A and B are shown apart, each in its own frame.
Chain A
């Protein structure tokens, strides 16, 4: 062990290299997939990170189904077609919070300094985990759906409707997650990210039509729920899952997702690049 380490290779001088001015799209995609691979390995080795997309959806579906079923729709079975799309939207948004917390934790580690010292696309360390997180949103949607079916939910939209709903849920999760990624680059600690994100996540999920009919709400609150993009996502999911139809709500939901991504991706990248 004490012997000197010999390094038989020779250094490449600057004149022997081709220096590129910028990262090509192909290189960026390769870097993003490499960092998505890293995030997936991290997920596999820290399974407790998956609690929010496995145990939580089970808990929420069973709890809400049994508790509110009778009150809202007369019975649990009648409530399920309303509830399951709502829970899918809610668990996906809950899962988004994890993206911001993970980013904050990562940024505090030395490995992110190395990422920033490499000639890679600035967005790669952000986009890599976001790509891997698609798996988390799919798991969240899948688990909720499975529990719902066990409890007696029979989606009228059939397999195509359900698959389309899962895809929409994943797209929603990916877009909304950029809000929490931005919080992750701004907050001082992972704990702060969690606190701030919860303050945002709960109104986003609950001040919507996810669990109750909007008609039962006071007038001003109806206005709030109607502009909440989550309401449009939930309505779109209900159309797809229960009736197998693509309603105008799908369009509004996708538009909302695009708007969120268009605002928060640049904000996140800028804030990340500035962060010491």
Chain B
């Protein structure tokens, strides 16, 4: 449907055009070196390097307060960069912000659409602001409303929209000019599972037709399901980078949590488990059980059989997928809760 593509002005030789060697920008979309943001004494983003390749979904994983949004705000020209540099399609974010803004779409964590307008009016307004003629802006608005299943609600004020509808409208608004690079800040936080799945599919569709996506998330399963590469951010620092499988192999595929029938058996059980798994089990705070990272899920059966053979009775056993907490514990030695508390403390 070529009619839907906004026609960007195409004069043969434009005096305003900023010359760029297209071969240089073909591989990387985002290139950041030593990115740093300082709020008072708090280094919210601390010396982060990033390279995002064209056509990939790049995930930035971290708990609340890790600096994900601050980093995104710097890359999208919303916040000045304190130290380091960032290039988007070869344009310098600090000095060529206007060019960068023409190439990116940004969907923030909180609905960045106008509460006073209807869905259709919002899309029309943002189309007009980006240089579309009124008629064309209407046309694209209707198309996007249909694509995001918002046609029925198009003339309702946003205040009557559900969380999922708002998020869809928000994303639709970012796609008016068909940007090649889309920033999504926690695109599924607060969405129910159905809307979450739908958002995931939409993100995959966008990449399938040539977009590059940089998204932030608090959820390991989301990064796992969507992203080709992930960086893990903790207290403003990059603590790990790699494909989801590389990261998971660092922290074990899953963990086994065992509750003993008798507290006294815990010590013996921990020794047995340590020998079987070559990992260090963590005794629960009450001393009534332990948990251990597994390099593969079959080890759970080995541990349970061994406990049975040694007549150590268990009350309860569960095998759990690694959570974000596990990732954090494995990578940083502290849990994401303490990260939040520290950040809150430094903010106040």
B18 at the interface (CB under 8 A from A): yes
CB distance from A43 to the nearest CB of B (A): 9
Q: How far is the CB of B193 from chain A (nearest CB, A)?
A: 10
- Looking at chain B's contact residues, the main secondary structure is loop
Q: Is the CB of A6 within 8 A of B147?
A: yes
Does B129 contact A34, Cβ atoms closer than 8 Å?
yes
- B276 interface contact, C-beta 8 A: no
Closest residue on chain B to residue A38 by CB atoms: B125
| Distance, CA A256 to CA B280, complexed state (A) | 77
Residues in chain A near residue B242, CB distance under 8 A? none
The residue in A2, A45, A119 that gathers the most chain B C-beta atoms within 10 A of its C-beta is A119
Task: Check B125–A119 contact: CB distance below 8 A.
Answer: no
* Beta-carbon contacts under 8 Å, A16-31 to B: 16-24, 27, 30-31
Partner of B128, one of A1, A14, A30: A30
Q: Are B102 and A17 in contact (CB under 8 A)?
A: yes
Count class of interface residues, chain A: 35 or more
User: A27 to B132, alpha carbons, bound, how many Å?
Assistant: 10
Contact of B112 among A11, A38, A111 (CB under 8 A): A111
Task: Report the bound CA distance from A17 to B98 in whole Å.
Answer: 14
Q: Which residues in A have their C-beta under 8 angstroms from that of B9? A: 18
Residues of A within 8 Å of B210, CB to CB, are 10-11, 13
Q: Is there an interface contact between B114 and A111, defined as CB atoms closer than 8 Å?
A: yes
Q: Could you say which residues of chain B place their CB within 8 Å of the CB of A12?
A: 5-6, 8, 177-180
Contact of A14 among B1, B103, B121 (CB under 8 A): B103
| Chain B residues within 8 Å of A124, by CB | 129
CA distance A24 to B22 in the complex (A): 25
Complex interface: chain B residues within 8 A of A5 (CB): 147-149, 168, 198, 201-202, 205
Interface string of B1-36 (1 = CB under 8 A from A): 100111011110010111010100100000000000
- CB contacts between A and B, total, < 8 Å: 165
B130 located at the interface, meaning its Cβ lies under 8 Å from any Cβ of chain A in the complex: yes
- A42: Cβ under 8 A from any B Cβ: yes
**How far is A6 from B147 in the complex, measured between Cα atoms in Å?**
6
Q: Which of B287-308 contact A (CB under 8 A)?
A: none
Q: Are A11 and B115 in contact (CB under 8 A)?
A: no
User: Which B244-278 residues have C-beta < 8 A from chain A?
Assistant: none
Asked if B98 and A10 sit within 8 Å, CB to CB, the answer is no
In whole angstroms, how far apart are the Cα atoms of A9 and B125 in the complex?
20
Are B77 and A38 in contact (CB-based, < 8 A)?
no
Tell me the minimal C-beta distance from B37 to chain A in angstroms: 11
Q: Say whether B206 faces chain A, with CB atoms less than 8 Å apart.
A: yes
Write the residues of chain B forming the contact surface with A, with a CB cutoff of 8 angstroms.
1, 4-6, 8-11, 14, 16-18, 20, 22, 25, 73, 76-79, 89, 91, 98-99, 101-104, 106, 108, 110-117, 121, 125-126, 128-131, 143, 147-149, 157, 168, 173, 175, 177-180, 194, 197-198, 201-202, 205-206, 209-211
Shortest 5 CB-CB distances between A and B: which pairs?
A4-B201, A110-B112, A11-B210, A114-B112, A119-B101
A-B contact pairs, 30 of them (CB 8 A): A1-B198, A4-B198, A4-B202, A5-B147, A5-B202, A6-B205, A7-B205, A8-B147, A9-B178, A9-B209, A12-B5, A12-B8, A12-B177, A12-B180, A14-B20, A14-B25, A15-B25, A17-B102, A19-B91, A20-B14, A20-B16, A20-B102, A35-B129, A37-B125, A45-B116, A45-B157, A110-B110, A111-B115, A116-B77, A276-B79
Q: A13-B180, A19-B102, A111-B113 are in contact. List 13 more A-B contacts (CB 8 A).
A: A1-B198, A4-B202, A5-B198, A11-B211, A12-B6, A13-B210, A20-B16, A21-B98, A38-B125, A42-B116, A113-B78, A113-B112, A117-B104
